[in-house]
Every structure is written in structure tokens, then in C-alpha cells.
Structure 1
Amino acid sequence: MSTLDLFQSNFIGMNRQAPRRLLDLACQSLLRDEASAIAAVEWLPMELFPPLFTAALAGKHNKVLKTIVQAWPFPCLPLGALMNHREPYHDILQAVFDGIDVLLSKETRPRRWKMQMLNLQRGAHQDFWIVWAGTRADVCSLLEPEAPQPMRKRGKVDSLRAGPKPPLAPVEVLVDICLKKGVLDESLSYLIKKVSERRGLLHLSCKKLKVYAMSKENINILGMVQLDSVQDLEVNCTWKLSTLRKFAPYLGQMVNLCRFLLSHVFKSSHTTLEQEEQCVSLVTSQFLSLSHLQELYLDDVSFLKGRLDQMLSCLKTPLETLSITNCLLLESDLRHLSQHLNVSQLKVLNLRRLNLTNLSSGSLQFLLERAAPTLQDLDLDECGIMDPQFMDLLPALSHCCKLMTLSFCENTISMTVLEDLLRHTIGLSKLKCVLYPAPLESYEERSSTIHLGRLAQVHAKLKHMLQELGRPGMVWFCAYPCPHCGCRIFYNPNPIL
């Protein structure tokens, strides 16, 4: 009996109660003779490709992997889901690309090959490798294969008219990329090399892109990426505004961007006001192209002060998440934010560590009133809010009918305001969690440290009010900074670091 016959007989006789074990045995049996395995690939049912691929990968049968890739019958090969974070996979990547290289060197598409994408995202399409022992439909549906065409008889005229096979379409290589300082890791460097060698036949796509440095090499990589494939972008760095200016044209090409985080951008003392204005104008104008942007995170961005209206005017679609943290804003910035931000879909508003002490609460109140129908999460931690300002916000908060979490830790609030807040929000049926600061009454009078006995009384009183008002399930956590390490301590009813 040939190796292929043995493989098929083992598969046909599989027990439904333990299919994986018998299938594993069949794969191992076939892989004992690599030459037979390579010859059998052309005739294997498509259901057997995933288990044989994983068995060949585990056994480091790179020649078999190369052959399987050349006959891969699915639109996508989710290789990244099989890669262990702790182990380099350069050899595996090389075997897969050796198979793709053979195909790209041909003028026409092979009979069985359906691969349109090599997905190198770790964790993507995990279910594909789990469900391979199910029905053919189960396996295929996970990777959206081409719909089967109805069969019809072919006459002699049809066969004579049949033209040449269509040319090989480009293969999309999808990978998450992190561009840092220093040398690229071996796998990314190899991938860039292959894409460069096969320009036009290999398209480098990236859904999640992190940029920490703008070296010459990283700029070259950005020039190779299909930037319209980027959906999640983090520019998390310590950059001068002039460096951000170099990156701006690439940002404008990410027309399908959904999430954008920009952090730690500072102004150089050598930059003139005119140069600064030009940089800010170039950067903010890129938002005109981001028609799919839903989440915007701005952290420690120096150029926002006095210019928030310039950025808001370039946002053409409503945001679902807006996070502006660790930034300096003027009264005019907060006014523009409250009046001109499209809040029709706003669910998350995070203004943590914005100093609002000397700013009017009217603008923030107006913003909350406008966002009340949709707002779900509100974070006002460490904003320097005091009793009068917070009292002004209470009527607007009471109308946030979809609010689920509210956090305003490390603000200077009295017990009276906390009680009023509880009464104003008790009717918000979706509000499940409130994180509040330790009120003034819970501090030692002389040392300004938390008195746990007083804090316990505060907690007990709020809990009793929740029970009396019919909302015992609403969770109220007190949060305050640890005097020793600065980490936040949560109290409910005991301190938890």
C-alpha cells in the first residue's frame, strides 16, 4: 500500500469520537517519507491541508511546507496564528516564501492554488486551525473561499474557445509592524527583503502599525506598505514637531484608519512661530483624508494649546472615542471642543489630567449635554475639579442615559458633592461603576493623609444610600494615590493596591 493510500484509508476510517488523534497518526505516517508526502499533496482533499500543514510545521518538514503552500486551496494562509511569541520563525517564513516564489515565477495560476493572502498577524484566524477536523463547509467559511460555480457540460466549442489561464494576481502579505530605533528583527527584515524583490507581485499590508522612530530605514518601509490597509495606528514617541511633519504625508494616505493614537510631541525651542504654524497646519490637514476615523487618542501633544479648533475643523466624521490627556488647553480650546465636536456617535470621552481648575465649567457642561444621548464612559481623573465646578456638571450627568462608567479620581471633592452625585445618577439604569476620589472629610486634618476609619464611614454611607434608593448593585469604588509608590489604591471596603 502506498503512503497516499495509507493516508486516505486512515482518514476514511476515522472514529467520529476521536478524529484528531487518528488524523494526527495519518499525518505522521505520511510525513515519515517526505518524497511521498510531496507527491501526495497534489491529490489531497482540501480538508487535509490544515492538519498536514500544522504537522509539517511542528516536525520542521520545510520541503513539505513549501509544497503545501504551492497547492494551498484556501484564499488565506493564516500562518501568524501558529507562531509562538517566544520562538523565532525565520526558517518557517523562508519555507513559505520559497513556495510562494515558485508560484510567482510562473505566468499562470496553478490548478488548485487559491491563496490571495498570507496573514502573519499573531492570533488571527485561530479558529481556522481549531476547526479543521469539522466539515468542509466549517473550514471554508472561516476564510471566505470563493463561492462554488455551478457545473455544466462543456462541448467541443467551449474547449476550443477556452483562452489562457488568467495571470497570477498579487499576493497580499498582512503583518502587524512596529518601527523602532535600531536594527529590525530578523523576520521583519527578511519580509521587507522579499517584498522588495517581488515588487508588484507581493503587496505588504498592515492593519496595526506602531511608529516609534522615523529613521531612514523606517521611512523606506513606510514607502513599501500599502498605507490604505492601516486601520490602527500608534505614533508613540518623543518627537519634535518637525519630526511629526515628516510623518504627516504618510498619515494622510491611511484613508481607512479607524483608530489613531498620537503621544509625546513637543515643540523645539529653535522652531519659529511661523515654522510651528506650518507644521501644525500640515499635520492637522491630514485629518481631512481620514473619513473612517472612529477613535482618536491625543496624549501629551504640545501643539494642541490654542489650536484645538484647527484639528476639530479637519475631522469630517463623528468620533466614537475621544481621549485628550496630559495636554495644556486654553478656555478657547474647551469652548471649541464643546461647540464644534460632532458628538452624534460619541461613546467614550477621556479628559484625564487636563487642568480644568481655572477654566469655566460651562463649556464642559455643554459638551456633556450634547453627548448625553450616546455617552457610555466618562473619565475626568486628575483634572483639578473642585466642588463648584462639579456641582455645575451634575444636571448634565443626570441626562447621560447610556452612561456605564464614570471616573473622576484625584479631584478635590467633598462628601456633600458625592451625595448629590449619587442622587443625580441613581436613575441612570446602565450606570454600573463609579470611581470617586476620597472626599475631603476622609483626610487627616494635619498630615493630609487618608484616615481609613473615616474612609470606611464614607463608603458605608454611600452603600447605605444605594440600598435605600434601590440600586444596591451599582458599584462605587474610592480611589486615591498610595503615599509611598504613587500607584492608585482602590477601596471597597478594604484597600487594594
Structure 2
Amino acid sequence: MVLSLVSLCATEVVSDHSSSPCWLKWIPRELYRPLLEAAFSSNRPLAAGELVQRWPERTLRVGRRKRGATSPNRLCIQALLLAVVRGLSDQRSVLQLLDLCGQQGDEGSLGDPMGGWSLTVALCTMVVQARNGAKRVQRKEGERERKRFSALQRESDVKRERADVVENDNIVSSAVKSEEELTKGVRRRMEMERKGEGPSANEAGIKIDYNDDKDLDVLVHVRADLFVNARSWERVRAALSTQGPLKLQCRYLRIEEISVSNIKTLLDLLPHQFLLGIDVRYSSLGVAGLAELLPLLSTFSALESLRLHYCNLDLRRDLHGQEEALRDLSQGLTQLYHLKCLSLTALRLPGQLRVLLSSLPQPLETLELPYLSLSPADLAYLSCSHHASTLQQLDLSENRLDETTLPSVRRLLSQASSSLQHLSLSGCGLNDHLLGLLLPSLGCCITLKSMAFALNPLSMSGLMDLVKTAVRMRSLHQLLYPNPLEDYQPGLPDLPSSAQLLDWPLDETTEFNTTSTQLNRVLLENGRSDLLLTCDLLNYHNNLKDE
């Protein structure tokens, strides 16, 4: 990446913190953004904090915007949050919206970015502390106003008493009158201090409020993606319940190991107009629990994405009371009018795909169904459903395909040929014969950008056929290919499962010297230097996020 002259100069400016008092006074507002980016990229938390505290615009967005860009360092994010709190009392700051959506990085990765859970905890702590600080300031200001009012009242009483003494010739009557006025003045002061208000306070233009429970005005809205689990649940609930100068909003909500009742409480606290997606993982919802949550989800008018991973859903009709739960579930799904993405992982749904997908009022753009043990009836329905022609991303990984289900998959690819951009068929048991039947349908998908075929039992010959098809697909830029059977150490069964292919050791020498060389030769012969071929399962999904 080639840095611009502005970026190079900004990096040099923020490198010396001792000079910040000089340049902070003179920089124009249009240079704040490149200076902040330079502070993040060069890990200068002090400079980042000073820039944010004086931020000259109403909105500050900090997130991944460019492909390949890394998240800011943990210390820089902490400095940013502290600066936002300090800026609440800084007249030079006009910040009204802090947007950290998409900011969290992977815990422990290069550069020490702040992960989703850590960022959520830090944000919630910041919101609560800002409220407590605002209440302390409010109490101090109230105390100062009360003392000021008392001093004014005492001075007024003294002047009135002196005037009474001078104007009255009768010493006796003057003394009696002064005593009466003094009594009235004391009584009046006591009454006004007890009430905390009075005509004199209003006449002086002084507003006194001693009600600590009154909601404070929101100064800055903080928008972020929240990650909530059993350890952070109480802190998130407290932050969302807090009324103060900072208000927390959520774009994407990820939940892990939370009960249905706590999820309902969390959803009730979230602002309904901002939530775009919810991701529930490792929570024992059950069909009844999901049916209970769906009416709450329907109140989020912008909800586009619903992801359920390992949530203990079992849609077998032979279970007692399951028919009623299925009806409730189907009815709840009909209320998700804007849903575009549905992701279901490792849920026991054989033969029940029609129950879920036919209830959705709008066709989906993203459908992820890994580890669902899809039946031939499920795939047959999917290939003819109203979702087939609109799918942009399809994941059928770890659903075993054979000659009975392959016609449905081919029909599905034909229906989605003009819209599908990302396809994953990893771990589907595709051997050379089945792949040969599927390749013509794949070649017709004119918009495919990425394909994943990892952990399928292909020989070197089958892998070469896959790559030769891929290089003819001009829209394709990434291919996750399986290691050919010849690259494994001896002992594999004739048709190994995906779990066996994942655990079986590779012959490293054969892999790098033979397979990689032959695949690169195919790319060069077809002039496809823009096509990335990889067998790295972990980094493949990270690359897709940067698309």
C-alpha cells in the first residue's frame, strides 16, 4: 500500500507527543481524520486521545473500512473511550455520535487489537462511569447554587434590616418591627431551603434541581456491535439501563450461553431502530424458546440477519408438544419482514426446512445451513423455493451429497446462477464422479466470487478438473480447494469422511512440491493471476470478511 503525502506527514506529526501542544492549536478540522488514522496505525494512544477529546465534527466513525486494514491497538481504543468521557465537559468537542461498528478484532492476533467481548465490556464501563461522573458534577453544581442563593438571601435580609432601622424614628417600635421582620426572614429562608425553590430563585434566573433520579440529557450516542455472554451479561444490562450523557446503541448483537429469559430482557433494553442482526450461540433455546423470542425480534424494524449456532433445536415431529411449537415457530417467522440472512448451524432439522423457509415473507439473500443433515426432501424444496433465485451466499457444508440429492443441488445452482456470489460445499463427500456431475452447473454461475470445496475426497485428477473449471469463471477470485488424496500419508479409507480428512496427517513434501506447482501452472497458462487458490481453512473465512 502506497501512503499519500498527507498520511506520511500525519505519521511524523503524531510520532512526537511532546510537540502536541503546539500543533493541536493550529490544525484545521479536515486534518483531524488523517492525524487520527496515523495515531492508530503507529500505535500512538496519547495522540489519539487528544484528537478525539477535541474532535471538531459531530460524528466519529472508527472501524475497518479498507481491505487489509488492521484494527487499532487496544491501548488506542482505550484512549479513545477515555477521551470521549473527558470531552463531555470540554467545550471544544462537538461530538454527538461515536460509531465503532465493525471495530473489534480477533483477540490475541497481531497488533493486540481489542476483541468483541473486551470492547463491549469497555463500552459498558464507560457508559456507567460517565453517568456517575455527570451526577457528581450535577450535585456539586446544585450545592454551589444553593450556597449562592443562601448568600444572596442573607445579604438581602441584612440590607432590609438596616433600612428598617434608619427609616424608623421610634426605637422601640423599630426594634419590635426588626424582630418581626427577622423572624419572617428566617422562617422564609427555612421554607425556601426546604422546598429548594421560590420566587426569589426564579427572579434571579437560578434553576435548582436536587432530583438525582431525573434522566440526564444524552450528549453522545455510542453505536457498536455488542458481544454478550454469561460473564458480561450484568454489565451490559446495567449500561443499557443507564440514563446519562452517553447512550449505547447496538447494530449487531452476538449472544453466547445466555438463557431465554435473559435474552428477552436484553432485547427489551435495546433501541429498536438500530439493530440489524442477532447471532445466538451455544444457548439452549429449544423450539419453544425460539418461538418465544421471535415476536420480540419482529419489533426490530431494521432486523436483516438471524444466526443460530448450536442452540439445541430439535424439530422432530414425534416429540410431545412439537406440533404446537412448530406452528408457533412458523407464525413467528412470518413477522420478520426484512430478514435477508438466515444462518443455522448444527441444528437437528432433517425434513423440516420447508417449515422454516416457507414462512419467511421475503426471499433470502444469504442462507447458511452447515451440519444440518439435510434430507433429499429438504434440498428438493430449497431448489424450487422462492429463495433460490435471490441467493447471493449459500453454505451447505457438512451436508452429505450423493447421486439422489445432486440433481436438486444442480437445479438450485441453475436457479441462483445470476445472483450467487459465495458458495460453500466443504465436507459434502464429493468424490471425483460426483464433482464431475456438478461442474457444468458450477460453470454457469456467472457471478460467483468465491467457492469452498475443502475436506472433500478428491484425487489429484478431480482437483485439476475443479481448478480448470474455476479459471474459466472470470468473476471468481477465491477457491478453497481440498488437499488431494495423494497428499495424505498412507492408510486413509477409500472414501474418507471430512473428519478423517481433517485429522489425517499430510505428506508435507508431496503437498508443496507437487500440488502447489501444478495448480500454479494452470493459473499461469490461463492468465489468472487474480484468482487466489488456497487450502488454508482458517484464513479463507477471514479473507471473505475483507471482500
TM-score (norm 1): 0.62
Which runs of no fewer than 5 residues in structure 2 stay unpaired?
Answer: 1-21, 33-53, 61-77, 104-113, 142-206, 209-216, 494-504, 542-547
Question: Is 1:325 matched with 2:361?
Answer: no
Q: Which amino acid aligns with 1:390?
A: L
Secondary structure of the corresponding residue to residue 78 of structure 1: strand
The residue aligned with 2:428 is: 383
Question: Is 1:423 matched with 2:423?
Answer: no
The residue aligned with 2:130 is: 92
The residue aligned with 2:9 is: none
CA contact (8 A) 2:341 2:365 kept: yes
Question: Is 1:451 matched with 2:507?
Answer: yes
Question: Is 1:405 matched with 2:425?
Answer: no
The residue aligned with 2:522 is: 465
1:279 and 1:478 mapped to 2: Cα distance?
42
Spell out, residue by residue over 1:153-177, the C-alpha distance to the aligned partner (whole angstroms, 9 max, x if none): xxxxxxxxxxxxxxxxxxxxxxx55
CA contact (8 A) 2:400 2:429 kept: yes
The residue aligned with 2:221 is: 119
2:434 and 2:351 mapped to 1: Cα distance?
22
The residue aligned with 1:278 is: 324
The residue aligned with 2:358 is: 313
How many correspondences in the alignment?
A: 377
1:222 and 1:406 mapped to 2: Cα distance?
36
Q: Which amino acid aligns with 2:468?
A: R
* Aligned pairs for 1:290-369 within 5 A: 290-302=336-348, 304-357=349-402, 359-369=404-414
Spell out, residue by residue over 1:249-308, the C-alpha distance to the aligned partner (whole angstroms, 9 max, x if none): 212323321121111132579996352222233223323222222222111122x21110
The residue aligned with 2:230 is: 181
Secondary structure of the corresponding residue to residue 468 of structure 2: helix
CA contact (8 A) 1:66 1:98 kept: no
Spell out, residue by residue over 1:355-395, the C-alpha distance to the aligned partner (whole angstroms, 9 max, x if none): 22475211111111111112121111111122222111111
The residue aligned with 2:251 is: 207
The residue aligned with 2:243 is: 194
Q: CA deviation at 1:17?
A: 11
Spell out, residue by residue over 1:191-232, the C-alpha distance to the aligned partner (whole angstroms, 9 max, x if none): 41539xx9xxx9985332233323645433433434454211
Identity of matched residues, %? 22
1:454 and 1:95 mapped to 2: Cα distance?
64
1:424 and 1:206 mapped to 2: Cα distance?
43
2:229 and 2:260 mapped to 1: Cα distance?
9
Which runs of no fewer than 5 residues in structure 1 stay unpaired?
Answer: 1-9, 21-44, 107-114, 123-175, 481-486, 491-497
Secondary structure of the corresponding residue to residue 431 of structure 1: coil
Q: Which amino acid aligns with 2:514?
A: Q
Q: Which amino acid aligns with 2:406?
A: S
Spell out, residue by residue over 1:3-38, the C-alpha distance to the aligned partner (whole angstroms, 9 max, x if none): xxxxxxx99984769998xxxxxxxxxxxxxxxxxx
CA contact (8 A) 1:65 1:95 kept: no
Secondary structure of the corresponding residue to residue 121 of structure 1: strand
Q: CA deviation at 1:48?
A: 9.1
Spell out, residue by residue over 1:33-55, the C-alpha distance to the aligned partner (whole angstroms, 9 max, x if none): xxxxxxxxxxxx9959999xx99
CA contact (8 A) 1:203 1:226 kept: no
Q: CA deviation at 1:190?
A: 4.5
**Which has the bigger relative contact order, CA under 8 A and spacing at least 6?**
2
With over 3 angstroms needed to count, the CA separation of the structure-2 counterparts of 1:93 and 1:352, relative to structure 1, is farther
Q: CA deviation at 1:406?
A: 1.3
Q: Which amino acid aligns with 1:477?
A: T
CA contact (8 A) 1:258 1:295 kept: yes
Alignment RMSD (CA, Å): 4.7
With over 3 angstroms needed to count, the CA separation of the structure-2 counterparts of 1:265 and 1:291, relative to structure 1, is same
Spell out, residue by residue over 1:125-184, the C-alpha distance to the aligned partner (whole angstroms, 9 max, x if none): xxxxxxxxxxxxxxxxxxxxxxxxxxxxxxxxxxxxxxxxxxxxxxxxxxx555533674
2:93 and 2:539 mapped to 1: Cα distance?
52
* Aligned pairs for 1:432-447 within 5 A: 432-446=477-491
With over 3 angstroms needed to count, the CA separation of the structure-2 counterparts of 1:17 and 1:374, relative to structure 1, is closer
The residue aligned with 1:396 is: 441
The residue aligned with 1:128 is: none
CA contact (8 A) 2:223 2:251 kept: no
TM-score (norm 2): 0.57
Question: Is 1:265 matched with 2:367?
Answer: no
CA contact (8 A) 1:352 1:381 kept: yes
CA contact (8 A) 1:67 1:99 kept: no
1:315 and 1:216 mapped to 2: Cα distance?
25
CA contact (8 A) 1:56 1:65 kept: no
With over 3 angstroms needed to count, the CA separation of the structure-2 counterparts of 1:17 and 1:297, relative to structure 1, is closer
2:24 and 2:449 mapped to 1: Cα distance?
53
CA contact (8 A) 1:438 1:479 kept: no
Question: Is 1:65 matched with 2:85?
Answer: no
With over 3 angstroms needed to count, the CA separation of the structure-2 counterparts of 1:391 and 1:285, relative to structure 1, is farther
Q: Which amino acid aligns with 1:262?
A: L
The residue aligned with 2:51 is: none
The residue aligned with 1:40 is: none
With over 3 angstroms needed to count, the CA separation of the structure-2 counterparts of 1:437 and 1:284, relative to structure 1, is same
The residue aligned with 2:416 is: 371
Question: Is 1:78 matched with 2:134?
Answer: no
